[in-house]
C-alpha cells in the first residue's frame, strides 16, 4: 500500500476506501518473457470495488506523457457477496477520454473473492480482478518514529541518529488488497523500448466524473504531498506534473535530505519521478525504478532518496506467499474478527 497513506491524517479519497489506489506494478511475465504484467491494487479492505468508478491503467508508449493505451476496469453493483467486472481497451485519442471507452474485451466476468483465482482470457491477453494477499511490506510504526507527523501535515525532517526508529515488524504481513491485473503481449504496448504507466481511479458523482486518486511511482504521492495538496495532486494529469509540482518536491527534499535545489532536481531527473509515471523498459530486468516487482523494498528506496542516503534500511524481508504465475499475488488471508 505504498500509495495508501499520506500525511497520516488524511483518509481515503472522498472518504471511500474503495477509491483508494494502493500500488502499481510492472514487470515481465514469469511464464512468457514476450509479455508484460501490469497490476493496479486498490481498496485496502479488499472487498467489492465501487460500481460507479472507473479503475484505469494508462500507458504512454511514445514519451509525450499522454496515454496511447488505456485499460479500464468497471464493476457491477455487489450482490450477495458477488460482483462482476468488465474491461475496456482504448487506443490513440480515445485512450485520453476519462470514460471507460474502447473495445470491450471482458464482459461481466466473476470477481474472485476467495482463494481460487479466476483469470479471464481475451485473445493473447489475460485479466484478473479480486482479493489477493498484499505484497507491499513496511514498518508503519517505524515510519511514525522517524518523522514528525504532528498537525496532520506530511513528512518533514527525519529524526536521525540515536536509537533506530525501526520496530522490525512488517505492518502489512497479513494484509489483503483488491487487485486488478493484466498480462499482455509487450508488442501491444510498445514495439521499441520503454513505456510509462500510471493508475487512475475516477468516480461519477451527480453526473460528473471526478478523478479521485492516481498512482505512479511507489510512495511518491505519499511522501511528497500534504493534506492540503493531495486532492489537487490526485485530480491532476502527469503531463502537468513537472511544472506544477517541482517546487514542492524540491522544498521537501531540502528539509528531509538537505538537498540544494540543483541537487534535488538532479535526483528527481535521475529517478524520473516527475512526471509521476512508473517507467518500464521490458528489454531489461524489472527492478524499481525500472518497473516494479513485489520484492522491491520501495520504502527503503524512497527513504534513502529523501534523506540523501542517511536513513538506514528497515531490515524487513519480502513476503513469501507470492505465486509463480498469473495473477502472481498470493491467496487472500482469512479475515479475523
Q: Residue 222, exposed/middle/buried by CB under 10 A (0-12, 13-18, 19+)?
A: buried
Q: 69-75 and 278-280: which strand pairing?
A: unpaired
Q: Residue 243, exposed/middle/buried by CB under 10 A (0-12, 13-18, 19+)?
A: exposed
pLDDT at position 10: 58
Query: Residues 6 or more apart from 243 whose CB is under 8 A from it?
Result: none
User: Residue with C-alpha cell 488471508?
Assistant: 333
**What would the DSSP string read from start to end of 152-206?**
G----SB--SSS-------TTTT-EEEEEEEEEEGGGT-SSS-EEEEEEEEEEET
Which tens digits make up the pLDDT trace of 292-305?
Answer: 999 999 999 999 99
CA–CA gap between residue 113 and residue 176 (Å, rounded): 11
pLDDT at position 151: 47
Helices of type H across the chain: 140-146, 220-224, 230-235, 241-257, 261-271, 298-307
As a whole number of Å, the CA-based R_g of the chain is 19
pLDDT at position 154: 55
Task: Give 3-state DSSP helix, strand, coil % of the chain, rounded to 5.
Answer: 25, 30, 50
10-14, 83-87, 315-319: the lowest-pLDDT one = 10-14
Query: Which grid cell sits at 111?
Result: 470477481
pLDDT at position 157: 63
Whether the per-residue pLDDT at 279 is higher than 90: the answer is yes
pLDDT at position 190: 75
Residue 319: pLDDT band (50, 70, 90) is very high
Query: Which grid cell sits at 87?
Result: 474491461
CA 120 remoteness from chain centre: 22
Which tens digits make up the pLDDT trace of 68-94?
Answer: 999 999 999 999 999 999 999 999 999
pLDDT at position 7: 46
142-146, 212-216, 243-247, 321-325: the lowest-pLDDT one = 142-146
Share of the chain above pLDDT 70, in %: 92
**What would the DSSP string read from start to end of 21-84?**
EEEEEEEE-SS-TTEEEEEEEE-TT-SPPPTTEEEEEEEESSSSSS-SEEEEEEEPPPBTTB-E
pLDDT at position 146: 85
Whether the per-residue pLDDT at 191 is higher than 70: the answer is no
Among 96, 117, 245, residue whose Cα is nearest residue 181: 117
Whether the per-residue pLDDT at 225 is higher than 90: the answer is no
**What would the DSSP string read from start to end of 122-144?**
ETTEEEEEEEEE------HHHHH
For residue 124, the tally of other CB atoms under 10 A from its CB is: 13
Q: Which of the 8 DSSP states describes residue 322?
A: -
CA–CA gap between residue 78 and residue 98 (Å, rounded): 23
Which tens digits make up the pLDDT trace of 127-183?
Answer: 999 999 999 999 988 988 887 555 444 566 676 666 788 999 999 999 999 999 999
Work out the mean pLDDT of the chain and round it to a whole number. 92
pLDDT at position 14: 87
Query: Which grid cell sits at 73?
Result: 476496469
Whether the per-residue pLDDT at 49 is higher than 80: the answer is yes
CA–CA gap between residue 133 and residue 140 (Å, rounded): 18
> 156 versus 16: which is more confidently predicted?
16
Q: Residue 227, exposed/middle/buried by CB under 10 A (0-12, 13-18, 19+)?
A: middle
CA–CA gap between residue 213 and residue 51 (Å, rounded): 16
CA–CA gap between residue 76 and residue 152 (Å, rounded): 35
Amino acid at each position: 500500500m505504498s500509495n495508501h497513506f499520506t500525511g497520516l491524517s488524511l483518509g481515503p479519497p472522498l472518504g471511500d476506501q474503495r477509491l483508494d489506489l494502493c500500488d502499481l506494478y510492472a514487470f515481465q511475465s514469469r511464464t512468457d518473457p514476450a509479455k508484460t504484467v501490469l497490476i493496479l491494487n486498490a481498496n485496502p479492505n479488499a472487498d467489492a470495488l465501487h460500481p460507479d468508478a472507473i479503475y484505469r491503467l494508462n500507458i504512454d508508449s511514445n514519451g509525450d506523457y499522454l496515454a496511447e493505451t488505456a485499460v479500464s476496469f468497471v464493476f457491477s453493483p455487489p450482490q450477495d457477496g458477488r460482483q462482476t467486472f468488465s474491461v475496456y481497451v482504448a487506443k490513440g485519442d480515445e485512450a485520453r477520454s476519462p470514460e471507460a471507452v474502447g473495445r470491450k474485451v471482458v464482459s461481466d466476468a466473476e470477481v474472485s473473492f476467495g482463494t481460487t483465482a479466476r483469470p479471464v482470457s481475451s485473445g493473447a491477453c489475460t485479466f484478473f480482478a479480486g482479493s489477493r494477499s498484499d505484497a507491499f511490506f513496511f514498518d508503519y510504526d517505524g515510519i511514525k518514529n522517524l518523522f514528525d507527523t504532528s498537525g496532520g501535515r506530511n513528512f518533514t525532517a527525519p529524526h536521525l541518529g540515536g536509537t533506530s526508529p525501526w520496530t522490525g515488524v512488517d505492518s502489512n504481513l497479513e494484509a489483503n488488497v483488491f487487485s486488478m491485473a493484466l498480462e499482455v503481449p509487450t508488442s501491444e504496448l510498445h514495439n521499441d523500448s520503454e513505456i510509462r504507466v500510471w493508475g487512475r481511479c475516477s468516480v461519477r458523482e451527480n453526473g460528473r466524473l471526478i478523478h479521485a486518486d492516481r498512482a505512479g511511482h511507489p510512495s511518491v504521492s505519499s511522501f511528497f504531498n500534504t493534506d492540503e495538496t493531495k486532492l489537487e495532486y490526485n485530480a491532476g494529469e502527469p503531463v502537468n506534473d513537472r511544472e506544477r509540482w517541482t517546487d514542492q518536491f524540491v522544498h521537501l527534499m531540502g528539509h528531509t535530505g538537505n538537498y540544494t535545489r540543483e541537487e534535488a532536481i538532479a535526483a528527481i531527473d535521475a529517478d524520473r519521478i516527475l512526471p509521476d509515471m512508473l517507467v518500464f523498459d521490458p528489454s531489461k530486468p524489472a527492478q524499481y525504478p525500472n518497473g516494479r516487482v513485489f520484492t522491491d523494498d520501495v520504502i527503503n528506496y524512497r527513504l534513502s532518496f529523501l534523506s540523501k542516503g542517511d536513513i538506514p534500511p528497515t531490515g524487513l524481508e519480502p513476503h513469501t506467499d507470492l505465486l509463480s504465475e498469473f495473477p502472481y499475488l498470493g491467496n487472500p488471508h482469512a479475515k479475523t474478527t
